[in-house]
Amino acid sequence: MSPRRTPDAPRGRLLVLRALGLGDLLAGVPALRALRRAFPGYELVLAAPAGLAPVAAATGAVDRLLPASAPSRAVPRALHWTGPPPDVAVDLHGNGPPSHRLLQSLHPRRLLAFAHPGTPEIEGPPWYAEEHERDRWCRLLRWYGLDADPADLLLPRPRTPSPAPGAVVLHPGAGAPARRWPAERYAAVATALRERGLRVVVTGGADEEDLVARLAALAGLPGDDVFPGGLPFGRLAGLVAGCRAVVSGDTGIAHLAVAHAAPTVTLFGPVPPALWGPPRHPRHVALWHGPPGDPHGPRPDPALLRITPAEVLRALDRLPVTPAGPHAPPEEVTTR
């Protein structure tokens, strides 16, 4: 599908829109790598939040990040694209007219996107709501004739060493209250693990200092085991890659742990793991009792509250007992 280019011809440019969060970017890695393979001579530009530049670089697929974001997972109003129109634009952001129109406003020579009645001029595959996020974007590209593998999601081992090698990482935060398991339950898990002689550390985002402090106080964690305020990506990646396990809700750090082949126990509430969960592998346990709910709700989802600390501890007991080592070979990683 990639047009041939003579050595003296200008380098083509491929623009990918995915102006979402950390977990969204990591779920899109297989599609980004498929685009990289299909257009090896092109500059691949990713429109995404500026803070994700280190993550985009770690994928090995992105040449440049074009800062783009909007509140509440909305489509950005504009893209600050300069120079000639993109040779190819790819909508990995959504399935409807807002993201389609944004890319169309740049007049790309070709636009790859899902079909929608509101943009009948775009010929693409149908959108299926009940589809895993990694599978969805790979299916989009396969419809256009590109080879895309949902299992191609591992990141290189980070160069930054872990600040707490072999620890169990607890991450109580999430983008919405509906996906935040109560701090008291995380504290119960932390206390039980420390009684077993394991080191437990807690992490949180830039706006989650109070939540992290509350969990640390409830569990009696020392200051060296508390990482509030949002660790820089390199240090967070090092922590996750060298941990014994990550326990979190359905949020970015769970996807980062999967990308670094670290054992995980992920607590799902309003969104089922069939849509956003880890690959099927012994090192990953996804806990969910259903039914689906509102992922943006103002309080912990009832399905999430059905998960107990005892259940989380049993799930941890099922995981590999050694800290995460070298990445598993690709054939070990399968999708749901």
> Nearest to residue 231, comparing CAs of 278, 182, 324, 162?
162
Asked if 140 and 180 sit in the same domain, the reply is no
Question: pLDDT class for 320, splitting at 50, 70, 90?
Answer: confident
Residue 229 pLDDT: 85
Residue 330, pLDDT score: 37
Q: Are residues 123 and 179 in the same domain?
A: no
User: 295 in a domain, yes or no?
Assistant: yes
List, edge to edge, every strand of the sheet that includes 88-91: 64-67, 43-48, 13-17, 88-91, 110-112
Q: Give me the domain span that covers residue 31.
A: 12-144
Out of 91, 110, 144, pick the residue that ends a domain.
144
Neighbours of 36 (CB within 10 A): 17
Q: How confident is the model at residue 135 (pLDDT cuts 50, 70, 90)?
A: very high
Q: Identify the sign of the CA torsion 286, 289, 295, 300.
A: negative
182 Cβ contact list (under 8 Å, min separation 6): 300, 305
Res. 11 pLDDT band, cuts 50 70 90: confident
For 227, the token pair is 């990482």
Residue type, 292: P
**pLDDT value at 168 more than 70:** yes
Query: What is the predicted pLDDT for the residue at 242?
Result: 96
Is the pLDDT assigned to residue 189 strictly greater than 90? yes
Q: Are residues 179 and 134 in the same domain?
A: no
Which CATH number goes with the domain that contains 244?
A: 3.40.50.2000
Residue 300 neighbours by CB under 8 Å, 6+ apart:
177, 178, 179, 180, 181, 182, 269
Instruction: Give the residue carrying structure tokens 């941890």.
Output: 316
Query: What's the sign of the alpha-carbon dihedral 58, 60, 64, 67?
Result: negative
More confidently predicted of 5 and 236: 236
Q: With 60 as the cut, is the pLDDT of residue 1 above it? A: no
Q: Tell me how many helices (H) and strands (E) the chain has.
A: 12, 11
pLDDT tens digits, 79-117: 999 999 999 999 999 999 999 999 999 999 999 999 999
Helix or strand or coil: residue 218? helix
pLDDT above 70 as % of the chain: 93
Query: Is residue 144 over pLDDT 50?
Result: yes
Report d(CA 294, CA 316) in Å as an integer: 27
Do 192 and 83 have their domain in common? Answer: no
Per-residue pLDDT averaged across 191-212, rounded?
A: 96
What's the structural domain count of the chain? 2
The model's pTM is: 0.92
Return the pLDDT at 72: 86
Residue 72 counted as domain residue: yes
Find the length of the chain. Answer: 336
Structure tokens, 135: 């599978």
| Identity of the residue numbered 222 | P
Beta-bridge mates of residue 249: 267
Within-domain flag for 292: yes
Q: 3-class SS at 88?
A: strand
- Pick from 255, 307, 289, 235: nearest CA to 132: 255
- Residues 240-260, mean pLDDT to the nearest whole number: 97
User: Does residue 236 sit within a domain?
Assistant: yes
Find all residues with CB under 8 Å of 321, minimum gap 6, and list them. 244
pLDDT tier, 325 (very low <50, low <70, confident <90, very high otherwise): very low
Mean per-residue pLDDT of the chain: 92
Specify if 215 maps to a domain. yes
Q: Is residue 239 part of a domain?
A: yes
List Cα–Cα distances, 166 to 241, 243, 265, in angstroms. Answer: 9, 4, 15
In a domain, 221, yes or no: yes
What CA–CA distance (Å, rounded) separates 278 from 138? 16
pLDDT for 328 beyond 80: no
Could you tell me the pLDDT band of residue 230, with boundaries at 50, 70 and 90?
confident
Order of all β-strands in the sheet with 284-287: 226-227, 200-203, 168-171, 245-249, 264-267, 284-287
pLDDT at 128 over 50: yes
Residue 226, strand partner residues: 202
Token pair recorded at residue 301: 């989802």
